[in-house]
Amino acid sequence: MSRPDISTTPAWQALAAHAATAGDAHLRDLFAADPERGTRLVAEVGDLYVDYSKNRVTDETLALLVDLARAAGLPERTEAMFRGEHINTTEDRAVLHTALRAPRSAELVVDGQDVVADVHAVLDQMAAFAEQVRTGAWTGHTGARISTVVNIGIGGSDLGPAMAAGALAPFSHPGIRSLFVSNVDGDDIADALDGLDPASTLFVVASKTFTTIETITNARTARAWLVEGLGDDAAVAKHFVAVSTNATEVAGFGIDTANMFGFWDWVGGRYSFTSAVGLSLMIAIGPERYREMLDGFHTVDEHFRTTPLERNVPALLGLIGIWYRNFLGAATHAVLPYNQHLARFPAYLQQLDMESNGKSVTVDGEPVRVETGPVVWGEPGTNGQHAFYQLIHQGTQLVPADLLGFVRPAVEIDPHHDLLTANLLAQAEALAFGKTADEVRADGVAADLVPHRTFAGNHPTTMVLAPALTPSVLGQLVALYEHKVFTQGVVWGINSFDQWGVELGKVLAGRIVPELTGEDEPAHDSSTNALIRRYREQRR
């Protein structure tokens, strides 16, 4: 049965009417009218304190958004996901990343398979291997201890562990360095290998399909480097392990499937961070910390599955995002972590959000009649403050932002952390309330400069404050965004779990390679042909 276009539902139309009257309300007035707002429009999930009071919403807005989620069937779709129904309809697959962090005692049989037992068997295999590497029981071909782990993967097989290795660097084994190679640009692997000793280097080749050209090209280069360095093909067995769903391709590449860590087609690439794709992270932080991270994910998974929408934090954040995207016209969403270790978090979220919700047809194949996923971007504060915040404060676009803060730093160096946090709080305050022309004048600013120095304010932010960036908190944060993205996809009526849009470029690149080398003549549009010819001339 096809779903009705969401924009034709009474819930959507009620929001459209509400936006026309309430959409311009200023945060200054909303706070003045309700002294409790800053402690009322907050929620807690796990260790996360989420303050959504500085969003341009009223109680009525939130109630209408919850109605919209119900009209879109969010509770039913959520249950369908957790139960393992094939909600990824274009690939006829279940979507079960939540099962990757289910406790051992959980029960879930999907398509006749005991999913939880399978997950824990791989987690145990990963833990045994990670401990061997960490303790030095696993040695390289020459008997040397492993001191560098290079994860080779791209997209979902890179961004999760790479982001988390940075985030959790303070928890990492002091004798093991983690490196990540993703780009097919040879500079990436060349830079990673520069100065490494093959005898003490382990490569984790992570690829769900094991056919991704970037990953396979990098893995071949790494293997050639290793075999040349150690002078023996047999060295590959002790220096290469694979993470994949595709045992045939792994064996074809020359990695013993005994050294393969598996996962399943019901784990989407960008949702695979808590599958065996986390192996390099587990080696870095150890199985115990890794388990804490999975428990953090699970806390938010359970909250999302069981909490009524009115208090369901990922759902509320998703719905507030829909308010901005569809009713107030915001095209982008900024994620601004006040934590240097989260430098790769926005990049991780870009794939999670934009590959999931960058869609223009509904699950029924009809054109979507409303805007879908926003452009997601960001940088750690305070760096962003000295770069792009100007546009958020005084530009002409609405840029809703998430601000992520932590009470305790990884390292206490007085006065850094209080300064960092003061900036975090100051930005949220300045963005929301601004500075009026009268206030500027009262400072004695010359009349001609008043417009330039006035801050309109009313720029919305959501503040997420956690005690510290621990493995559990990181898991909670990622799950929060996963379910936020899911919520939005359900409301828009799209399939958040396929990514056909990445295919065409891959096919065309395959055709262009022989044209660049001169084996084939370029056969494209006049622009592409001219660029290929120019490249060829200058490569000579």
- Least separation in angstroms between CB 158 and ligand F6P: 8
- Least separation in angstroms between CB 154 and ligand F6P: 5
- Tell me if 69 sits within 8 A of 493, measured CB to CB: no
Of 121, 387, 382, 161, whose CA–CA distance to 264 is shortest?
A: 121
Residue 39's SS3 state is helix
Separation of alpha carbons 491 and 320, rounded Å = 12
Catalytic pick among 44, 310, 506, 521:
506
Q: Which residues bind ligand F6P (CB under 6 A)?
A: 154-157, 207-209, 212, 215, 269-270, 355, 499, 502
Separation of alpha carbons 196 and 179, rounded Å = 11
- Least separation in angstroms between CB 272 and ligand F6P: 7
Residue 396's SS3 state is coil
Of 332, 330, 453, whose CA–CA distance to 393 is shortest?
A: 453
Separation of alpha carbons 527 and 483, rounded Å = 42
- Tell me if 125 sits within 8 A of 282, measured CB to CB: no
Q: Helices (H), strands (E): how many in the chain?
A: 22, 13
Q: What is the dihedral sign for C-alpha 58, 64, 65, 66?
A: positive
Separation of alpha carbons 60 and 338, rounded Å = 31
- Least separation in angstroms between CB 502 and ligand F6P: 4
Q: Closer to ligand F6P by CB, 248 or 383: give it.
A: 248
- Least separation in angstroms between CB 210 and ligand F6P: 7
Separation of alpha carbons 486 and 489, rounded Å = 5
Catalytic pick among 386, 452, 503, 519:
386
Catalytic pick among 214, 355, 379, 515:
355
Active site residue 386: yes
Separation of alpha carbons 315 and 317, rounded Å = 5
Residue whose CB is nearest to ligand F6P in the complex, by number? 269
Q: Closer to ligand F6P by CB, 245 or 427: give it.
A: 245
Active site residue 435: no
- Least separation in angstroms between CB 279 and ligand F6P: 13
Q: Closer to ligand F6P by CB, 153 or 380: give it.
A: 153
Separation of alpha carbons 55 and 402, rounded Å = 10
Active site residue 355: yes
Q: Closer to ligand F6P by CB, 136 or 501: give it.
A: 501
Q: Closer to ligand F6P by CB, 503 or 537: give it.
A: 503
User: Which residues form the catalytic set?
Assistant: 355, 386, 506
